[in-house]
Structure 1
Amino acid sequence: MPVWLQALFWGTLAGAALVLGSALAWWWSIPAKFVSLIMSFGAGVLISALAFDLVDEAARGGGLWPTATGFLAGAVAFVTANALLAQRGAKHRKRSGGKQPSEKESPGSGTATAVGALLDGIPESVVLGLGLVAGGAVSPAILAAIFISNVPEGLSSTAGMKKAGRSAGYVFGVWGGIAVVSGVASLVGYVSLQSASVGLIAFITATAAGAILAMLADTMIPEAFEEHHMLTGLFAAVGFLTAFTISRVGA
């Protein structure tokens, strides 16, 4: 398979995990505490992946300063965009409870929620394409981390969308569209950066990592803590260890 097609395929596959989580939440009533626990697990998985497979590798390949500046730039960019979307009704887009507003309660919140979901997923997809540039193959640890974390993201957000009265067309249109865009983002990341310097690749990788960490703190971890805070830390630790083990076994 051509490498560019691999980038498209792996990005789409990772995004498809959102559709899987969405389908589970749409067709079955998932207990809120269970959603909370798998969100904790998914958060731990992503924290491990960005620490050991993104930031560390970026620093090794391109140096500390491109990595540090990129990481901060990604965090600032995400927080800024997230704050703007929150003002338009997307503040609780990952929440499974009744906190997501309906379109009647907050006109335009449906669009803002869709854009917010896209904002959450793009950095992860770009990383997959960058992995093909840097190493010639997708990192199994990164792919597993993104896929594992995307399932509870789609599950939790869809549970909230359903309670807010969103239609099936809206819900699956959002997640199906994001799966496609995820594939395209991975492809663009690969095609546009094939001849990039190691410093630039480190900067962009770290930018994605900073955005992912900010996303975790702003959207996933609050949902994880909401219903089952006594076990949030434990399941996050298990998720972290799972991703770390996958990373070391695949090394």
Structure 2
Amino acid sequence: MPLKLILFSGFAGATVFIGGLLANMFDHHIKDSPVKAQLVHTLMSFGAGIILSALALVLVPKGMDELGVWGVMGSFSFGAILFMLIDRKLASSGSQQATLLAMMMDFVPESIALGAVFAIEPQMALLLAIFIGLQNLPESFNSFRNLVRSGFSVRKTLTIFFGLSFFGVISALIGHFLLSQHPNITAHLMTFASGGILYLLIQDIIPESKLDNNYLTSLGASLGFLVGVVGEMVI
């Protein structure tokens, strides 16, 4: 069993729990103030920049390298449309778990792709693990706050997030042992995830991170994207 893959995916998954801890700290241990609102929204926009860099630098380029035009168009469109349909279904159901399921929709396929890529391109797998981990922070941050506001206790929500943090390792191992010899399928999976992630980014994360008459949040998104560019250059 590849220890490095477990470490990579373990980091990517651990940030689900860390995001919940950060949300709990901000919501229950820091007094409401304009500065607090700016910090929360800037963190979310920073995460949006990270997610965008993952799409632009890793997920989409990998799909373009392996697939033809129709393959990229098909997988990307299928991901965007499927995530839209699931998002609409979850929103209409009013389920308390809707925001949590939305977060997992991109985490699981990305982790499977991480495991598949690991055997072929370990450096790319490391970069993808960093991207997944960093994007999980704002998503879990927002999900935690929504769940607690909908009636879940802090302890129960943190327990759920702790359990979900291991999904990354499980998904990565599945991808490694089942898909590492199938780069074409992996490319379809990464492109599919790209379409879905971009939908969620524009539908949920960017609107949530916006503050009226505040420009720091937009700067946070730009800095998040820069972190992804630097990561790609260094790794």
Please, what TM-score do these two structures have when normalized by structure 2? 0.86
Q: CA deviation at 1:247?
A: 0.3
- Distance in 2 between the 1:209 and 1:131 partners? 16
- Distance in 2 between the 1:239 and 1:113 partners? 23
Q: CA deviation at 1:169?
A: 3.5
Match of 2:44 among 39, 46, 51: 39
- Distance in 1 between the 2:53 and 2:106 partners? 17
Q: CA deviation at 1:83?
A: 1.0
Q: CA deviation at 1:166?
A: 1.6
Question: Counterparts in 2 of 1:169-208, with a 5 A limit?
Answer: 169-196=155-182, 198-208=183-193
Judge conservation of contact 2:113–2:186 (CA < 8 Å) in 1. Answer: no
Residue 142, structure 1, aligned to residue 128, structure 2: yes
* 2:102 corresponds to: 116
Unaligned residue ranges in structure 1 (runs of 5+)? 90-108
SS at 2:204 equivalent: helix
- Between stretches 212-221 and 225-234, larger displacement belongs to 225-234
Judge conservation of contact 1:67–1:203 (CA < 8 Å) in 2. Answer: yes
Residue 12, structure 1, aligned to residue 10, structure 2: yes
- What whole-Å deviation, never above 9, does each CA across 1:52-73 have from its counterpart, x for those lacking one? 1111122123333322221111
* 2:25 corresponds to: 27
Judge conservation of contact 2:96–2:147 (CA < 8 Å) in 1. Answer: no
Unaligned residue ranges in structure 2 (runs of 5+)? 31-35
Q: CA deviation at 1:207?
A: 0.8
- Distance in 2 between the 1:151 and 1:228 partners? 25
SS at 1:204 equivalent: helix
* 2:33 corresponds to: none
| Alpha-carbon spacing, 1:113–1:233, altered in 2? closer, same or farther (3 Å) | closer
Match of 1:64 among 52, 69, 72: 69
- Between stretches 36-45 and 150-159, larger displacement belongs to 150-159
- Between stretches 69-78 and 21-30, larger displacement belongs to 21-30
Q: CA deviation at 1:133?
A: 4.1
Aligned CA RMSD, in angstroms, stands at 2.2
Give aligned-pair identity as a percent: 30
Judge conservation of contact 2:13–2:166 (CA < 8 Å) in 1. Answer: yes
Judge conservation of contact 1:114–1:174 (CA < 8 Å) in 2. Answer: no
The letter for the 1-side match of 2:197 is I
* 1:239 corresponds to: 224
Q: CA deviation at 1:138?
A: 4.9
The letter for the 2-side match of 1:140 is L
The letter for the 2-side match of 1:212 is I
Residue 74, structure 1, aligned to residue 72, structure 2: no
- Distance in 1 between the 2:5 and 2:84 partners? 27
Q: Where in structure 1 do 4 or more consecutive aligned residues deviate above 4 Å?
A: 226-229
Q: CA deviation at 1:47?
A: 0.7
The letter for the 2-side match of 1:220 is I
| Alpha-carbon spacing, 1:120–1:170, altered in 2? closer, same or farther (3 Å) | farther
- Between stretches 110-119 and 201-210, larger displacement belongs to 110-119
